[in-house]
Structure 1
Amino acid sequence: MWIHMTSVFVDDQEKALRFYTDVLEFVKKHDVPMGGADRWLTVVSPEAPDGTELLLEPDGHPAVKPYTTALVEDGIPAAAFAVDDVRAEFERLRELGVHFTQEPLTMGPVTTAVRDDTCGNLIQIVHSE
């Protein structure tokens, strides 16, 4: 058993797609119309195009806004992405204008930073030694 797909709720799929591809450098995998403005929209890591997909899921369900708002207000990331070097990725993203709510922090063998994905979520980047 392995993780095939996970999702983050987004307030605007097109804006999310631009952020996750143009800024975070993921690659669009699936873009299937679902009726109305909603799409089955997934991205993947360019290093693992057949790996775990991230679904950029519309936040239209009534339970989503209170849930995502509470997570952001409490500083809890909706997802974590592994990187080779948190500090280097932090600098790269900050130069692109990405807002971080937590600068790189080393806790034993793990270094993390938390950023705003501009679509309603906090996303953590992490590296383990």
Structure 2
Amino acid sequence: MKIQLTSVFVDDQATAHAFYTDILGFRTKHDVPLGESDRWLTVVAPDDPDGTELLLEPAGHPAVAPYREALVADGIPLAQFAVDDVRAECERLRGLGVRFTQEPLTMGPVTTAVFDDTCGNLVQIAGPA
């Protein structure tokens, strides 16, 4: 068993797609229209095109808003991505206008930081200390 697909709920798929590809550097895997306005829109790591897909899922279900609002209010990230160097990635992302809600923090063997994905979620990046 392995993880093939996971998702994040997004307020606007076009905005999310631009952020996750242009800013974070993911690559589009699938972009299939579903109905009038939604899409089956997935991205993957550029160095692992056949790896785990991240679905940029429309946040239209009524349960999504209170769930995400509670996570953001408590500072809890909805997703976590691995990076080689958290501090360097923070600087790169800051240069592209990304707002961090948690500066790099080293806890034992790992360093983490948390940013706002501009689509309603907090995302954590983690790497070796």
TM-score by length of 1: 0.99
Give the 3-state SS of the residue equivalent to 1:126 in structure 2.
strand
Residue 44 of structure 1 aligns with which residue? 44
Residue 10 of structure 2 aligns with which residue? 10
Q: Identity, % of aligned pairs?
A: 74
- Spell out the pairing of 1:1-129 with structure 2 (5 A cutoff): 1-129=1-129
CA distance, structure 1, for counterparts of residue 104 and residue 98 of structure 2: 14
CA distance, structure 1, for counterparts of residue 72 and residue 35 of structure 2: 29
TM-score by length of 2: 0.99
Q: Deviations over 1:67-94 (max 9, x none)?
A: 0111001100000000000000000001
CA distance, structure 2, for counterparts of residue 128 and residue 80 of structure 1: 14
Give the 3-state SS of the residue equivalent to 1:84 in structure 2.
coil
Instruction: Note the C-alpha offset of 1:36.
Output: 1.8
Task: Give unpaired runs (5+ residues) of structure 2.
Answer: none
- Once superposed, what is the RMSD of the aligned Cα atoms? 0.6
- Contact kept in structure 1, 2:85 and 2:128, CA below 8 Å: no
Deviating 4+ runs (over 6 angstroms): none
Aligned residue type for 1:4: Q
- Contact kept in structure 1, 2:10 and 2:119, CA below 8 Å: yes
Give the 3-state SS of the residue equivalent to 2:47 in structure 1.
coil
CA distance, structure 1, for counterparts of residue 23 and residue 46 of structure 2: 13
Q: How many residues align?
A: 129
Aligned residue type for 1:84: D
Task: Give unpaired runs (5+ residues) of structure 1.
Answer: none
Instruction: Note the C-alpha offset of 1:125.
Output: 0.2
Instruction: Note the C-alpha offset of 1:128.
Output: 2.9
